[in-house]
Structure 1
């Protein structure tokens, strides 16, 4: 959403509902004591919704939310992310080497951001009936709460498996145990069906989820439910049908592919027709800014970056040549003394992501890049829906139809690749999964596709021997999930069971 005077409510609500502590044990001190008087006012309900987004954004907080590369820590097992062998990247390396620790502090960004959003969403869902005002506007806020709660649980359940499941504003965080994965999916699916009913087809403010966003997210929830670990095969049909609803109604929702892939990563094209749900970062003083664009994804030795993340060599080498590859990766670095260094001669000997530079980097002098940026960070986009449909339809019908080919080929043609045809079912599905990996490279989604399709070991076995970070732990399903944070177990021993 665009920042307006509503942002004044964000800090008020964060102080009111969420304590300054990063740990969930502090939440009871901030719970609403008199919801009837508080939520009677529409402005307070709206403020809680603003706080919900602030939680997942990670406003003014380096240890919570999606604003920094730390949120991707648990996703470093995928082949589209790796990090440097030295320096302060140990927490990334734990997951990159499959040697995960329950004391990993960086993985807490995802945990805290999602749960802070959930706790605020619960307030809206539980108490919106008390609010006096235009019912359509109240329903819109309620729909947003259902969407964000499902969105947050989707990241949590795919990352940790069995997790604490808060669905009531009256539940104390210390009074809850871990819930089974299937129970979390039941809540997410119900939430998104509710969101479909309450959300409008379009929103007047940027960044707010619409009915189409709820359908898009639900299609991916169904697709994931059909794979590991639940393997609910019937959900492939549900995923295909829900994605098709988005595709068939793209004109109503305002969705479409941008003609040029490279434009997706330019600030002038933030919140384009391809963006289905994006977090809005627009405070350029650095407090509430986006910190992935800029130094985080730049080489330290050549461009004075931070070396947080870059791409594995095998993934880069297998990436199809063309316009999309050129826009996705940066292979030459301009040093402060005016020399150009090819990645093969760089300190890490890896290509880096070009996606995350615009708005924070002066390409005539990259060494002056900032570590914050005004950005709309896309977390769901239309290309992904096309690929979800293509895979789900082929699996549901045991054969790709013409619509599935069309969905896949829309993405391929935009990438500068030739359309595919005449593939066997397994070949088609493999092509879609590969395409999704290339299309969404570095966007934090590859890991989740690898685990739901149980392809982690296959991918890791083909890892280049030149990778600096070595795999030392199991790549089997026993090591797919991140460990429940030790700090949370100490606060609530029930989470250790």
Structure 2
């Protein structure tokens, strides 16, 4: 889906119509970098353009930098380039002006603002070309996008400022103090509840737009992070039971043709005109890449062990000191999807939650479904602690180059043991220094 191109085209037309219709107001001061939210969404066309703009916001931070935050900071991926911003992440010595964390933080808030504009402006639209069903769908998508964005902020930065109304300039968020982590997650839940009520039942062919199952999947993940084990089982099961979703028989298939496989619960798609060039940081220079991110020696060892990695060795290529990751592999056309939620994650969410509830047999069953698909050796028994550790290892390998490992180590409080990062202050990223300077209501995370 060409989220970006469609959004730019529609927005350009909207700006032109606004300019032509308001020449007599040329003396009024208007923001020069935004369309006022009160006038941006006026009919079916602008409503559709606005929601595509919100999806484009997700693309802007999920096509590269957010995945980097979830990988290079942990133990599966290391730094192999020359740029200091990546080295800082790799060493978990991140200053408040790190280019990547600043970019992600600001892009997420920009995405939230786009969703806020839809939520605020859409209810008043009365275009006969926009029936109530479509109107509900667009509004539900906006609530889901805001939920996902705040979830991603919370697990990276902790409790944040909850900006729930569209803003045209910096003054719009002044006076909003940081919420607690629990309050931030409460807002995520509230948005997911709204989204589920508004969104349509699943279309079997749609995997790159929010639907009811998408909200349930994120709700399962949210409950895992909040340690609401029974609810995590409930919502994971509701997604797993949908016939629309199934593990592909060959692990490699989900990230090679065709995209939008049965594995995918939610992904962001790209095209030749709306490219995702993230492959370049994984590939060596001989293949056109910068080779900035490199699989760690420990991951290579695990993934090449048939009993552990099984068919997941297809995630890497090369030999010796030149092993590289190939999850993002469309080197010629740059159209790799961003994989946000896969059905494999729902099985492992349910496995972990069952283990925490002491349903060890159920946990092993779900864990072994993932191991069997990969051709890895099944786990037949174990204590609760051993099974939880096996699930953690499975997550690490199954999603080796997706935005999971760092966040999993933090939420399970294993970042100290695994990474040697015993100062828990550094389990959160720093709030950008520029935001601290510009807004006295923004309090920096401890340690920065």
Could you say which TM-score interval applies, normalised by the shorter chain?
Answer: 0.7 to 0.9
Q: Does 1:118 align with 2:120?
A: no
CA distance in 1, matches of 2:10, 2:320: 43
> Which residue matches 2:250?
260
Matches within 5 A, 1:33-432: 33=36, 35=38, 38-58=40-60, 65-69=61-65, 72-73=68-69, 75-84=71-80, 87-88=82-83, 90-132=84-126, 133-169=130-166, 172-203=172-203, 207-226=208-227, 235-248=228-241, 250-251=242-243, 254-266=244-256, 268-282=257-271, 284-285=272-273, 288-293=274-279, 295-300=280-285, 303-319=287-303, 320-321=305-306, 322-330=309-317, 332=318, 342-344=319-321, 346=322, 351-357=323-329, 359-360=330-331, 370=332, 373-395=334-356, 397-402=357-362, 404-432=363-391
1:34 to 1:373, Cα distance in 2 relative to 1, 3 A? closer
Which 10-residue stretch deviates more, 39-48 or 95-104?
39-48
Give 5+ residue unaligned stretches, structure 2: 17-29
* Cα distance, 1:75 vs structure 2: 4.4
1:69 to 1:38, Cα distance in 2 relative to 1, 3 A? closer
What TM-score, normalized by structure 1, do the two folds share? 0.79
Give 5+ residue unaligned stretches, structure 1: 17-26, 59-64, 227-234, 333-341, 361-369, 462-473
* Cα distance, 1:135 vs structure 2: 0.9
* Cα distance, 1:184 vs structure 2: 0.5
CA distance in 2, matches of 1:186, 1:14: 35
Higher fraction of helix: 2
CA distance in 2, matches of 1:188, 1:83: 33
* Cα distance, 1:164 vs structure 2: 1.8
CA distance in 1, matches of 2:164, 2:418: 37
Offset from partner CA, 1:302-328 (integer Å, 9 cap, x none): 545202211221232233425433211
What SS does structure 1 have at the residue aligned with 2:341?
strand
1:187 to 1:34, Cα distance in 2 relative to 1, 3 A? closer
CA distance in 2, matches of 1:14, 1:475: 52
Asked if the contact 1:67–1:292 (Cα under 8 Å) also holds between the matched residues in 2, the reply is yes
1:183 to 1:137, Cα distance in 2 relative to 1, 3 A? same
Aligned residue pairs total 421
CA distance in 2, matches of 1:166, 1:10: 26
Offset from partner CA, 1:72-114 (integer Å, 9 cap, x none): 2464221112112x522x1111121121100111223321321
CA distance in 1, matches of 2:160, 2:71: 17
Offset from partner CA, 1:13-33 (integer Å, 9 cap, x none): 9979xxxxxxxxxx9665664
Offset from partner CA, 1:404-463 (integer Å, 9 cap, x none): 3332111111101132222222211111111111100011211110000011122124xx
Asked if the contact 1:239–1:388 (Cα under 8 Å) also holds between the matched residues in 2, the reply is yes
CA distance in 2, matches of 1:151, 1:14: 27
* Cα distance, 1:488 vs structure 2: 1.7
Asked if the contact 1:118–1:152 (Cα under 8 Å) also holds between the matched residues in 2, the reply is yes
* Cα distance, 1:296 vs structure 2: 1.4
CA distance in 2, matches of 1:297, 1:447: 18
- Taking only aligned residues, the RMSD between alpha carbons, in angstroms, comes to 2.5
CA distance in 2, matches of 1:31, 1:433: 44
1:94 to 1:428, Cα distance in 2 relative to 1, 3 A? same
What SS does structure 2 have at the residue aligned with 1:495?
coil
CA distance in 2, matches of 1:246, 1:482: 31
1:192 to 1:70, Cα distance in 2 relative to 1, 3 A? closer
Offset from partner CA, 1:382-412 (integer Å, 9 cap, x none): 00011001101221x223243x333211111
What SS does structure 2 have at the residue aligned with 1:356?
coil
Offset from partner CA, 1:188-210 (integer Å, 9 cap, x none): 01111111111122246551011
Offset from partner CA, 1:261-285 (integer Å, 9 cap, x none): 011111x221111111111111x25
